[in-house]
Amino acid sequence: MSINFALTIVLALLVLAAAGWTVAAPDAFAAVVGFVIYGLLLALVWMSLRSVDIALTEAAIGSGVTGVLLLGAGARLRSAEEPAANERAGVALHVMAAVLCTSITAGLAVVVLILPEPAPTLAPSAAAHLAGTGLGNPVAAVLLAYRALDTLLESAVLPLALIGVWSLASDRFWGGRPGIRHRADREGVLVFLPQLLVPFGVLMGIHIVWVGADDPGGKFQGATILAAMWILTMMAGINDTPPISRRWLRGILVAGPLVFLAIGLIGFAVPGAFLAYPPGWGKPLILVIEAALTPSIAAALGLLPAGPPERAPKG
C-alpha cells in the first residue's frame, strides 16, 4: 500500500469522524463547529478526487458561508437548546433508525462497488466541443455553455431564496437593515483583520472569477470570496448591512440573472435556440454573463447569512 493511499484512508476516516461528531455532539453549537471542520475536510476530499472547482466551492460555500450562517443561528438558539422530554427519541426509535440507515448505506455501498466498467463518461464530447466555446476549463464550459440552463436557474435561486428570507421580516422592520449592528472595537483584532485581509481578498476573488474560464475557479467561487470579505467588514462593525429597500441593492441582485436571461433570449434570434451563442461570440458573451453574475451572486451570498431585516427603516 502506497503512502498516498494510506493518507487517503486517513482522510476518509477524518471526514467520517467529523460527520459523526456533527450528528453526536452534545449541543448544537459544537455540532456546527464540527460541520465547518467537516466541510474543510471535504474540500480536501474533492482535491483528492481531482475536482479542484468543487473543492473551491465546498471550502467557500459549503464550509465558509454556510458556517457563518449556522454559527449565527446556533448562538441565537442556545436558550432553546434542550428538547422537551416528550420530544426525545426513545431507544426503539434509535434502533430502528440505525437499522434503516445502515441498510441504506449498505445498499449505496453495493452500488458504488458494482459501478459499470468502463465508466460511462461525457468527457470526450465535452472535450470535442471545447474549442467552440472559447473556454479552457471544461467545468466552466458545462456551466456556461453545454448546461447553461442549469446555471441560469441556479442564479435565479439565490435572489429567490433571499426574497424568501426577507419576507420573514416583521412588518415594522420591512425595508430596514438585516441582522444586528455589530459594534466596532477600534483597537480590536476583528477590525484589524479586515483592514489587512479585505484588499487582498477582493483581489483574489476577482482573480478567481477571471481565471475560471481556463483554470479551476469561476464566478461562484470568486463571488463567494468577495461576499466573505463583505461579511467580514460587516461582522467587524466597519460596515453595516444596507437597508433592503435600496434600489441599487435590488438592482445588483437581479442584474446578473436578467443579463443571463436576455443573452439567452437573443439566442432565439441568432443561432435559433434558447441560450445558444452566435458562432464566434461565445467567449465575449460568457464574459459579459460572468461580469454581470459575479456582483449579483456576491451580494446574495453576503446578505443571506444576515437574515431578514431586524431594524426599522429610518424616517
Q: 23 to 82, contacts with other proteins by CB under 8 A?
A: 23, 28, 31-32, 35, 38-39, 42, 45-46, 48-51, 53-54, 57-58, 61-62, 65-66, 69-70, 73-74, 76-77, 80-81
**CB of residue 114 vs other proteins: minimum separation in angstroms?**
11
In sign, the C-alpha dihedral spanning 153, 293, 200, 190 is negative
Among 153-161, 189-197, 199-207, 266-274, the segment contacting other proteins (CB under 8 A):
153-161
Residue 238 is given by DSSP the state S
Is 3 near other proteins (CB under 8 A)?
Answer: no
With CB under 8 A as the contact rule, the residue among 6, 131, 157, 180 that binds other proteins is 157
Measured CA to CA, the distance from residue 124 to residue 129 in angstroms comes to 9
Residues in contact with other proteins, total (CB under 8 A)?
94
Residue that has been written with the C-alpha cell 444586528 in this structure: 180
**CB of residue 264 vs other proteins: minimum separation in angstroms?**
16
**CB of residue 92 vs other proteins: minimum separation in angstroms?**
11
Looking at beta carbons only, is 134 or 307 nearer to other proteins?
307
Is 2 near other proteins (CB under 8 A)?
Answer: no
Diameter of the chain measured on Cα atoms: 70
36: closest CA among 11, 10, 59, 6?
59
Binding mask 165-194 toward other proteins (x if CB under 8 A, else -) reads x--x--------------------------
**CB of residue 90 vs other proteins: minimum separation in angstroms?**
10
157: closest CA among 220, 247, 243?
220
- For residues 144 and 290, the answer to whether their CB atoms sit within 8 Å is yes
Which distant-in-sequence residues (6+ apart) come within 8 Å of 198 by Cβ? 229, 232, 233
Is 127 near other proteins (CB under 8 A)?
Answer: yes
**What is the footprint of other proteins within residues 243-272 (CB under 8 A)?**
none
| DSSP for 200-237, written as a single string | HHHHHHHHHHHHTTTSS--HHHHHHHHHHHHHHHHHTT
Measured CA to CA, the distance from residue 183 to residue 51 in angstroms comes to 40
**What is the footprint of other proteins within residues 268-307 (CB under 8 A)?**
301, 304-305, 307
Is 149 near other proteins (CB under 8 A)?
Answer: no
With CB under 8 A as the contact rule, the residue among 92, 112, 189, 269 that binds other proteins is 112
Task: List strand residue ranges (DSSP E) for the chain, in order.
Answer: 177-178, 309-311
**CB of residue 286 vs other proteins: minimum separation in angstroms?**
14
- Kindly give the interhelix angle for 282-303 and 148-166, rounded to the nearest 10 degrees: 20
Looking at beta carbons only, is 168 or 269 nearer to other proteins?
168
**What is the footprint of other proteins within residues 187-226 (CB under 8 A)?**
218, 220
- For residues 239 and 233, the answer to whether their CB atoms sit within 8 Å is yes
With CB under 8 A as the contact rule, the residue among 113, 247, 248, 279 that binds other proteins is 113
